[in-house]
Structure 1
Amino acid sequence: MKQLIARKKGMTHIIDEDGTMTAVTALQVDPCVIVQIKTAEKDGYDAIQLGAGKKRNPNKPEQGHNKGLGKFAILREVKTDDISAFKIGQKIGLDIFESGQKVDVTSRSIGKGFAGTVKRYSFNRGPTTHGHDHHRQVGSIGSGTDPGRVIKGKRMPGRMGNKMVTQLGLKIARIVNEHNLVFVKGSVPGKKNSWVMIRKSIKA
């Protein structure tokens, strides 16, 4: 099992031994607690459920599900091939990752609200000279007689962002075990203090 729940703390930069300055994203990875173990016999597949963070006032169903293990702010399910190595209440920490390793990070991107095609898809603007009134309009969205309709999937104005996005192949630049921090090169989707999933890269 090579997957953990983390929290994005923001971006900074680190200086390598050769003096190179690298932009990194700081992810706080507190030890995740195994809350539930799912088996193929009972649930149809093998997986473990991880809990992280702290919730001030969990409701009664959450209290019963956590079985006194803690007041978790987030629960995430991770599929695994071998569940015999895990038990409920076990803590999984940063020791499953190492510096220099490539990881994939999944998070919800920042929502931008309702946006036009210029902002959403980088469409070219219309002429900005005299007599034009379609500076940021979509333009033609289909032919008239044939096919006589708008093709499915046509890029048009709509809600932008607020979707689950995965950044592939990010390299771990540094691990600080004392503070449970992982620094990955480059940017990570989501805003500050948002929850992310960090896992071993599928392309590694």
Structure 2
Amino acid sequence: MTGIIGKKLGMTQVYDDKGRLVPVTVIEAGPCPVLDVKTNDKDSYSALQIGFGSKRAKNVSKAVLGHLAKSNNQENPPALIKEIRLEADSDKEVGSVLTVEEFSDIAYVDVIGTTKGRGFQGVVKRWNFGGGRASHGGDWERKGGSIGMCNWPGRVFKGKKMPGHMGSVQRTSQGLKVIQVRPEENILMVKGAVPGFNGGVVVVKKAIKK
């Protein structure tokens, strides 16, 4: 099993086997049709191209519809198409479907998502700066302070922590424990939080460090 595309539904609490209350994130994972299979012999790398969701065929370009012909998904094209890299060639065939049942025997997963966007933020919120004093003529409670002297270094170092766009970047939550798998509902529950807002697209893979 390599990975599956899903949608973050939100967080809740469930009881584990020992009666302990566990905070979990509910993910609607799959079903994901296999649209194309990349192999080392043909493409110089191994990967599976899978889809998720659905959209109207009239809203899909002719190029994409032509690509979907070999997987027989032209009438019900997926809303999202992603390619998941593999270490070796897969035994999956074009037209087969990946479901959340693939995770029934997996204990830990990595979840890839896009963090919530926070817009343009200052250094206190973006980098957790302490700021200046609020008394005795400070007048710089939430400012970043000096960023580079005139004489030396005479420039601003690359990577300097400064105000700017915060959030809306890809992040991975690693080693999340699988609490429940509900194949009949396409539901996967993992312990803890995952990146992104409710309704955001995530990719679930088998944990690489567990």
Code of the aligned partner of 2:189 = F
Give the aligned length: 204
Which runs of 5 or more structure 2 residues have no equivalent in the other structure?
A: none
Separation (CA, whole Å) in 2 of partners of 1:48 and 1:145: 55
Rate the CA distance shift 1:151–1:36 in 2: closer, same or farther, 3 A: same
Cα deviation, 1:75-115, whole Å, max 9, x if unaligned, reads 11112244361211011112321366111000011100000
Matched residue, 2:64: 62
Matched residue, 2:38: 38
1:117 shift after superposition: 0.5
Cα deviation, 1:137-178, whole Å, max 9, x if unaligned, reads 111213442222111111100100000000010001111122
1:184 paired with 2:190, answer yes
Question: Does the CA-based 8 Å contact 1:99-1:173 persist in structure 2?
Answer: no
Q: How does 1:96-135 map to 2 (within 5 A)?
A: 96-98=102-104, 101-129=107-135, 131-135=137-141
- In structure 2, the residue corresponding to 1:119 is in which secondary structure? helix
Separation (CA, whole Å) in 1 of partners of 2:18 and 2:134: 49
Q: TM-score, normalised by structure 1?
A: 0.93
Matched residue, 1:16: 16
Rate the CA distance shift 1:140–1:99 in 2: closer, same or farther, 3 A: farther
Question: Does the CA-based 8 Å contact 2:40-2:89 persist in structure 1?
Answer: no
Matched residue, 1:53: 53
Which runs of 5 or more structure 1 residues have no equivalent in the other structure?
A: none
Q: TM-score, normalised by structure 2?
A: 0.90
- In structure 2, the residue corresponding to 1:36 is in which secondary structure? strand
Cα root mean square deviation, aligned: 1.7
Which is worse superposed, 142-151 or 84-93? 142-151
1:163 paired with 2:169, answer yes
Matched residue, 2:27: 27
